[in-house]
Structure 1
Amino acid sequence: MKSSKVSGSVRVALVCGAALMGAAGCKKTADNTINYKSALNTYYSSHPACLWSEEKKLPAQEDTSDTTKTAPYDALVDQGLLVRTTDEKKKLLVLSKQVTNYDLSDKGRSSWTADPNQPGYGNFCYGHRTVSSIDSATPTTDQPGATTQVSYHYGFTDAPGWATAPETQTAFPSVQANLASGQTGSATLTNTTNGWAVTSAAGGPRAATPADGKIVE
């Protein structure tokens, strides 16, 4: 009977110990890769990658002869996101030039992320960065106010077909770069009373300036 009580006490101690270890491991302020990864994925869930570095206004009108400006829009017409019409615009009294008008299609409206602060403005966003692994982190503590610099690998989730289409990736080079596998990034995380949070991210989701194809961080 006595040995039964002893073995029961041991079992209770082991269960409690495991529970305490689990609680420590799940503590949001603990300095571990699980919390770093969670903080990064939380950050990127509200910071999607979009086509343009700044919100665009639609409808838009461009000079038909200026292919550097029309080509990105035409790629989105090919993907069914925009509709295109042509018109003539008066220039002075006797001159005119041909212009191309672009507006959202029915399909485009369902993919368009409107800017609530600027009527008519918005962007086409195509997914979120998802951190797959934390590769390194600078020494830190589990105290609020502590910071750490982390390096990580990531992939992308939820990329729609129009973003993976060759026409889109040619017109917006950063889309192809963002969706490539094996990407790496870095970020600074700060510990708060509610857990780790991203304070700055280098090489975050990038957007291309369509007119020149430059990648903007």
Structure 2
Amino acid sequence: MKAISLLGVGICGGALIAAGCRKTNFVDKMAFKSAINNYYSTRQDCVWPSPVKFPVQADTSNYEQTKGYDALTDTGFLVRKAAEKKRFLIGSKQVNDYDLSDKGRSSWTAEQTQPGYGNFCFGHREVTTIDGFSPADVSDATQYSVSYHYDVAGVPGWASTVEMKTAFPGVAMDMSGQQSAVANVVKSDSGWQVNSVTPTD
């Protein structure tokens, strides 16, 4: 019986080798998560997609123009002053002048390459789940396309108010926990590095 069993094992082993048997592929998804989080750790999410400059003036009759500034005024980051803007031949219109308050200056993130410009930032993105990667059937590739979901970490109280989320839909979306993206990660001597990130929502 023992001889038969050993023979069976030998045949089975031979069959596996003939079929191209190899060890199960393994890709460390946590290494991808760490690489993407490192990439995000130096990139803050801010209320505006690009830096702005203060003081700024907005037409009081244009809600889309004033809603963001008014929400930031309610947080204490801006001061608002009513004014009147003269218009050639057609009279004048009511405007609001907005500028940074002392509280706002302490939370302001200045843009180093554009003097006078800056933004109000509220945290950085953090991966919640790694959903998949490609190529999925190769364990020793030097480049992968990684799909994942993320949330925003380190959000201060002022950014999570209903008023801020209403005035800045991008802020609400970033904190929804439903955002997804695809990162292109490349293997380097120091581990995985993010080459590019593409939103998928």
**DSSP 3-state at the match of 1:127:** strand
- Residue 90, structure 1, aligned to residue 83, structure 2: no
Aligned with 1:127 (options 103, 123, 127): 123
Identity %: 48
Counterpart for residue 164 of structure 1: 160
User: Does structure 2 retain, via aligned residues, the 8 Å contact 1:142–1:191?
Assistant: no
**DSSP 3-state at the match of 1:83:** strand
Match runs of 1:1-217 below 5 Å = 32-92=28-88, 95-139=91-135, 140=138, 142=140, 146-203=142-199
Go from structure 1 to structure 2 and tell me whether the alpha carbon gap of 1:101 and 1:180 turns closer, same or farther (over 3 Å shift): same
Distance 2:90 2:173 in 1: 46
Runs of 4+ with >4 A deviation: 140-143
Tell me the TM-score normalised to structure 1 length. 0.73
Highest Rg: 1 or 2?
2
Q: How many residue pairs end up in the alignment?
A: 174
Unaligned segments of structure 1, at least 5 residues: 1-29, 205-216
**1:118 partner amino acid:** Q
Go from structure 1 to structure 2 and tell me whether the alpha carbon gap of 1:141 and 1:192 turns closer, same or farther (over 3 Å shift): farther
* Cα RMSD after superposing both structures: 2.2
Unaligned segments of structure 2, at least 5 residues: 1-25
Tell me the TM-score normalised to structure 2 length. 0.78
Larger RCO, structure (CA 8 Å, separation 6 or more): 1
